[in-house]
Amino acid sequence: MSTKDSKFIYESPDGGKTVYKREFGEPLSKRELVNLEEFSWPLMKDCITDEDKAAMINFIKTAGRFTNGPKVKEFEKKWSEWLGCKYSLFVSSGSTANTLLVAGIKERHGLKKGDKVVVPCMTWVTNVSPVIQLGLTPIFCDVDPKTFSFDVESLEKIAQENSDIKAVFVSHLFGISADIDLYKKVLPNAIFIEDVCESHGATYKGRKCGTLSEGSTFSFYFGHHMTTVEGGFVCTDDKDLYNIMKMKRSHGMAREALPEMFEKYKEENPQVHPSFMFMTDGYNLRSMELNAVLGVSQLKHLDKNNDKRRENFDRFIRMVEKYPSYFYSNYQVEGNSSFCLPFVCKNSKTKKSLESYLQNSGVETRPLCSGNLLRQPFLKSMNEIPNPSFYPKVEFLHECGFFIGNNHMITSEEFSILEDLVRGWAHSKNPEELT
């Protein structure tokens, strides 16, 4: 929106000069008068650099193989070293990583149809859909607004009412680490796995998220901490789980297994050509060499870029702390890698007012993840759909929260404009009118 669209003119306190005011009612700063017309704050920006493009161009010019090959293996090795795990599998997306991990866990531990898996009410849909698709039963848990992961009281209630929980799928949302040690105390006999698709580099008690359970997943979608355009990882220290998932990634083929296991499979199944032997049900979830080339190039800068994301998040927290009448700000800060900047408002009126205001000022917004999943139509396929109102904390976040983008390319000037916008909105409002 340009200054010419503003409907109000006010006298400035310094010399009687007139300055524009937005239709929402706040004075425009000098910075805004200069930059507002071109100001935008998208949810995501293209973080592929000239260095990345040069690496891909050189690969295309010189490569003799483009499907899953040596570059994928190189990326897997470098990622395992960066994360601190034994095994990593590069796959086509974070969503297929989730599918592969759930399928691998099911086979590795002999889970049966109907076995229960705890999932959060707020997470990406493909944390839950593989559970359903693979015949398991999702048990939904409320979320804590401080971490956006499991609410402990809700988890304790689940443990009391269900003595047969087999697995727990933890989501580290928005770059904020979940309190996974506490969850393990509540359900000590369950298998724990992690979705780290939005939290690359986040840490929990000094350990990287993704190394806190039997297996974890990462996403390299366009808008995440780093990108391979599309792509993801499944990571584990469990050799048997890795062996299963490695085969499942490529149709279930025995030749994809660890060498010693492949030899065993050949001896046990002489009636089948070893190169075309299928040891398990599988998929084709492989990624390509070019994606891996991009991943290796992007990984070089991940830690530095995450430092800038944390810097932005810290500045965001300082900003919302100035307006306690409107916003909550008690997020889990330690160890975050800040995927986004989440506004959790005191009520839905405040949320609607601020969100509309920011959108009209060039700031793109979206719901917190996909909101309360129990409101999503895809769950209608389940025999029993839990009532969303039974989960008050995620309902609150659904009604009162949204986020804006964060990335390492945001300038101090752009952040100053955002601060001006929020300050202008807050000063134009009376908390009583938003209750």
Give the CA dihedral 176, 177, 178, 184, nearest 10 degrees. 180
Identify the H or E element spanning 128: helix 125-133
Query: Of 224, 225, 398, 408, which is the active-site residue?
Result: 224
Active site annotation includes 224? yes
Give the HSE-up count for residue 213: Cα atoms under 13 Å, Cβ half-sphere: 32
SS (H, E, C) the chain: CCHHHCCEEEECCCCCCEEEECCCCCECCHHHHHHHHHCCECCCCCCCCHHHHHHHHHHHHHCCCCCCCHHHHHHHHHHHHHHCCCEEEEECCHHHHHHHHHHHHHHHHCCCCCCEEEEECCCCHHHHHHHHHCCCEEEEECECCCCCCECHHHHHHHHHHCCCEEEEEEECHHHCCCCHHHHHHHCCCCEEEEECCCCCCCEECCEECCCCCCEEEEECECCCCCCCECCEEEEECCHHHHHHHHHHHECCEHHHCCHHHHHHHHHHCCCCCHHHCECCCCCECECCHHHHHHHHHHHCCHHHHHHHHHHHHHHHHHHHCCCCCCECCCCCCCCCCCCEEEEEECCHHHHHHHHHHHHHCCECEEECCCCCHHHCHHHHHCCCCCCHHHCHHHHHHHHHEEEEECCCCCCHHHHHHHHHHHHHHHHCCCHHHHC
Residue 20: other Cβ atoms inside 10 A: 18
Q: Are strands 165-171 and 116-120 parallel, antiparallel or unpaired?
A: parallel
Just list the catalytic residues: 224
